[in-house]
Chains A and B, each alone.
Chain A
Amino acid sequence: MPTQKTLAVTGNTLVAEAIRQCSPDVIPAYPITPQTTVVEELAKFVANGRMHAEYVNVESEHSAMSAAVGASAAGARVATATSSQGLALMWEELHIAAGLRLPIVMFNANRALAAPINIHCDHSDVMGARDTGWIILFAETAQEAYDNTIMSFRIAEHPEVLLPVMTTADGFITTHSIDRAQIMDDETVAAFVGDYEPENALLDFGKPVTHGSFAGLGGPYFEFKNSQRMAIERARDVVKSVGAEWSAITGRPFGMVETWGMEDAETAIVVIGSTAGNARHVARGLRAEGKKVGVVKVRCFRPFPYAELAAALKGVKAVAVMDRSESFGAEGGPLFLEVRSALYDLDERIPVVDYIYGLGGADVKIELIDRVFADLSDIASGTAAPSGLVYLGAR
């Protein structure tokens, strides 16, 4: 019988609990703000004999992911965590982890990238990894960070997928704020996640395999990439089915996209992560005034839920995309580019405006969201033309 406890905890504490409950065999760890309390908690679990994992105090994030690749190829369940510059330093290895089809699970505390150096939240780090072949999940709350982390192991290790998963939460906002959340009992999580049965493990000495071959002659590289594309496409159904299964156990809904007020919304904000709460808060107030507004939150960014997004936004008169990262020189931030692409196949042409906001932890004040909905209202009523890219709240 699943038993849940309600706690007042930070996101990082819950992520560490989730990793402990999923029993990885190896944890290569390197500290970086604001991920540190995750690896500290895990070190305590190991020191207290509450985890069997081999904890590897690597000397850099590059080595963290390199050791994760070695350990995963060896046949171990592997988890690690990072943030910002650390994720950037791993960039080479992120591609290799995905290309070798290794189901590594990594938590990322979303944080700005230098320069100038900044330790606070935005999505520049994760978005920089969006084309590395990893499945990428975003959390709004500590609860979602917990749930996503547990689901990540199931998704990554699914035989139809075998891809690494990055489970993320907003640095400080979600990782360090104390939030109310429910934690599942250890047995239920263990049963849900199950045992990892690796294929082609290096440590299967009876069947020696070569990992990381040179595929530079005669075109097999191209075939490998095609199979990787097919795997992440198959992950769409796996993300949904694993989400449904966890949802049935916990009673908490999961969707690649989550909607609020979209049944009859005329204008909508599309948002990722902790700001979704601010957006719903403002939308609730506007609804009370009789304004038909809605919020769409993207929880799974890779694979990107194009069909779900188009279905949610169909019939809306104007859409605002909130991007917490840049794609300098592009028409908008990474989320904007995906959302506009998702809307292309609809019969009607919906005006879409991109708002770059909250970079480096810049405050996401309620007035700013008010302004976005006000802009949308003007665009929807025809009193204003859709503006291009807006730096929301910039002086």
Chain B
Amino acid sequence: MTTIRELSHREDLLEGGHRLCAGCGASIAVRQVMLGAGGTPVVVGCATGCLEVSTTIYPYSSWKTPFIHNAFENAAATVSGVESAFKGLQRAGKIPADKKAKFIAFGGDGGTYDIGLQSLSGAMERGHDMVYVCYDNGAYMNTGIQRSSATPMGAWATTSEVGSVGQGKPQRRKDLTSIMAAHNIPYVAQASISDWKDLTSKAEKAFAVEGPAFINVFAPCPRGWRIPYDSTVEIAKSAVTSAFWPLFEVVDGEWIYTKRSVTRENRKPIEEFLKPQGRFKHLFKPGNEALLAQVQTEVDRNFDHILKRCGL
């Protein structure tokens, strides 16, 4: 793991002055991941979404490295094309055979869990030497907080409304990180912007492997979660300590839990994560006790499942 002192000297490839909201978790995720590239040239691809829209408003660009946005569902396929071009051009003798480069795709949870899942699965199966990073904020934030398959159970979203009948999203989240692990690719990880050293360390490992790697990064959205702009990191932290978002990695098929300080016994109650967020406020109304308990049960079931896979 690179030291903080070393990291502090690395250039940020995403320049400030972009138009992401104050407190946006996505830009923190991008910075910490990009620091992991460690000076090797990087091509960035990005799915349509907040990150893309806010950083590339023509004629400006916040990217100090080659960048491509194609469409919503195909960041993985697009970057697989860039990586293939690198190989093809090396074989043609147009790029030196010893030249090294990294290829990275960013997508939100909508562009990754939902519409981009096929493209992502295909690119990972083909074994491209690329890193796919999902910044998971649990809804279609760019279009206005619509529910995705990453939206937590019970959460309000503009398409999983709270009313006299509806109480937010009734379904469980899709476990995308496990789906990616099932692709038997060299490196898969789940990380959070709150644990930024862990995130950068995982990014370094992802960049280091030959072949595909996937990192799912928990990245709160103050606007969509109805939280103050200065609480992004704290909320992300409570997602980890409550075991809503366990941190782990899967290295060549071996599951490793990377947040040993959070255990089955000492994990915080899920209320600590839910209560500060406006999108869960209905869960705390009288009559919704059972729903709240169901959310806790679901979190514990998921955490237990991951720990068991990690041999704990």
Q: A66's contact among B53, B78, B86, by CB below 8 Å, is which?
A: B78
Chain B 57-96 near chain A by CB (<8 Å), digits 1 or 0:
1110101111111110110011111101111110110110
Identify the closest chain A residue to B45 (Cβ). Answer: A70
In the bound assembly, the distance between CA atoms of A222 and B122 in angstroms comes to: 35
**Is A60's CB within 8 Å of the partner chain B?**
yes
Count A-side interface residues using an 8 Å CB cutoff: 45
Given contacts A52-B88, A213-B56, contact A205 B67 (CB under 8 A): no
Q: Within the complex, what minimum Cβ distance (angstroms) separates B186 from chain A?
A: 19
Indicate if the CB atoms of B82 and A202 lie closer than 8 Å.
yes
Given contacts A202-B68, A213-B57, contact A59 B122 (CB under 8 A): yes
In the bound assembly, the distance between CA atoms of A20 and B34 in angstroms comes to: 38
Q: Which of A58, A78, A217 has the most C-beta atoms of chain B within 10 angstroms of its own C-beta?
A: A58
**Is B160's CB within 8 Å of the partner chain A?**
no
Which of chain B's residues 46-62 have a Cβ closer than 8 Å to chain A? 52-53, 56-59, 61
Indicate if the CB atoms of B81 and A71 lie closer than 8 Å.
yes
In the bound assembly, the distance between CA atoms of A89 and B122 in angstroms comes to: 16
In the bound assembly, the distance between CA atoms of A52 and B89 in angstroms comes to: 9
**Is A203's CB within 8 Å of the partner chain B?**
yes
**Is B226's CB within 8 Å of the partner chain A?**
no
**Is B101's CB within 8 Å of the partner chain A?**
yes
Set of chain A residues within 8 Å of B73, measured between Cβ atoms: 62
Q: B88's contact among A25, A57, A208, by CB below 8 Å, is which?
A: A25
**Is A363's CB within 8 Å of the partner chain B?**
no
Q: Within the complex, what minimum Cβ distance (angstroms) separates A125 from chain B?
A: 20
Indicate if the CB atoms of A212 and B68 lie closer than 8 Å.
yes
**Is B126's CB within 8 Å of the partner chain A?**
yes
**Is A156's CB within 8 Å of the partner chain B?**
no
Q: Which of A62, A70, A217, A220 has the most C-beta atoms of chain B within 10 angstroms of its own C-beta?
A: A70
Q: Within the complex, what minimum Cβ distance (angstroms) separates B146 from chain A?
A: 19
**Is B43's CB within 8 Å of the partner chain A?**
yes
Given contacts A26-B88, A59-B122, A213-B58, contact A69 B78 (CB under 8 A): yes
Chain A 94-117 near chain B by CB (<8 Å), digits 1 or 0:
001000000000000000000000
Q: Within the complex, what minimum Cβ distance (angstroms) separates B4 from chain A?
A: 27
**Is A209's CB within 8 Å of the partner chain B?**
yes
Identify the closest chain B residue to A63 (Cβ). Answer: B77
Indicate if the CB atoms of A54 and B126 lie closer than 8 Å.
no
Q: Within the complex, what minimum Cβ distance (angstroms) separates B50 from chain A?
A: 11
Indicate if the CB atoms of B89 and A208 lie closer than 8 Å.
no
**Is B167's CB within 8 Å of the partner chain A?**
no
Q: Which of A57, A58, A212 has the most C-beta atoms of chain B within 10 angstroms of its own C-beta?
A: A212
Set of chain B residues within 8 Å of A75, measured between Cβ atoms: 85, 89
Q: Within the complex, what minimum Cβ distance (angstroms) separates A99 from chain B?
A: 10
**Is B118's CB within 8 Å of the partner chain A?**
yes
Indicate if the CB atoms of B122 and A203 lie closer than 8 Å.
no
**Is A92's CB within 8 Å of the partner chain B?**
yes
Q: Within the complex, what minimum Cβ distance (angstroms) separates B298 from chain A?
A: 31
Indicate if the CB atoms of A70 and B41 lie closer than 8 Å.
no
In the bound assembly, the distance between CA atoms of A217 and B56 in angstroms comes to: 11
In the bound assembly, the distance between CA atoms of A216 and B52 in angstroms comes to: 12
Q: A203's contact among B67, B70, B74, B95, by CB below 8 Å, is which?
A: B95
In the bound assembly, the distance between CA atoms of A56 and B52 in angstroms comes to: 26
Which of chain A's residues 193-246 have a Cβ closer than 8 Å to chain B? 202-205, 208-217, 220
Set of chain A residues within 8 Å of B89, measured between Cβ atoms: 25, 74-76, 203
Set of chain B residues within 8 Å of A216, measured between Cβ atoms: 53
**Is B121's CB within 8 Å of the partner chain A?**
yes
Given contacts A26-B88, A69-B81, A203-B85, contact A58 B52 (CB under 8 A): no
Given contacts A25-B92, A28-B81, A69-B78, contact A202 B43 (CB under 8 A): yes
Residues of A within 8 A of B (CB): 23-26, 28, 52-54, 56-60, 62-63, 66-76, 78, 92-93, 96, 202-205, 208-217, 220
Task: Report the 5 A-B pairs with minimum CB-CB distance, sorted nearest first.
Answer: A70-B81, A59-B122, A67-B81, A25-B88, A74-B85
A-B contact sample (18 more), CB < 8 A, given A25-B92, A26-B88, A210-B68: A25-B85, A56-B126, A58-B122, A63-B122, A67-B77, A70-B82, A73-B68, A74-B89, A75-B85, A76-B84, A96-B71, A203-B86, A203-B101, A204-B66, A210-B63, A213-B56, A213-B59, A214-B56
22 inter-chain pairs at a CB distance below 8 angstroms, sorted by A residue, are: A23-B92, A24-B88, A25-B94, A54-B91, A58-B122, A62-B119, A66-B74, A66-B78, A67-B80, A68-B81, A69-B70, A70-B68, A70-B84, A71-B85, A202-B68, A203-B82, A203-B95, A210-B68, A212-B70, A213-B58, A214-B57, A214-B69
Residues of B within 8 A of A (CB): 41, 43, 45, 52-53, 56-59, 61, 63-71, 73-74, 77-82, 84-89, 91-92, 94-95, 101, 118-119, 121-123, 125-126
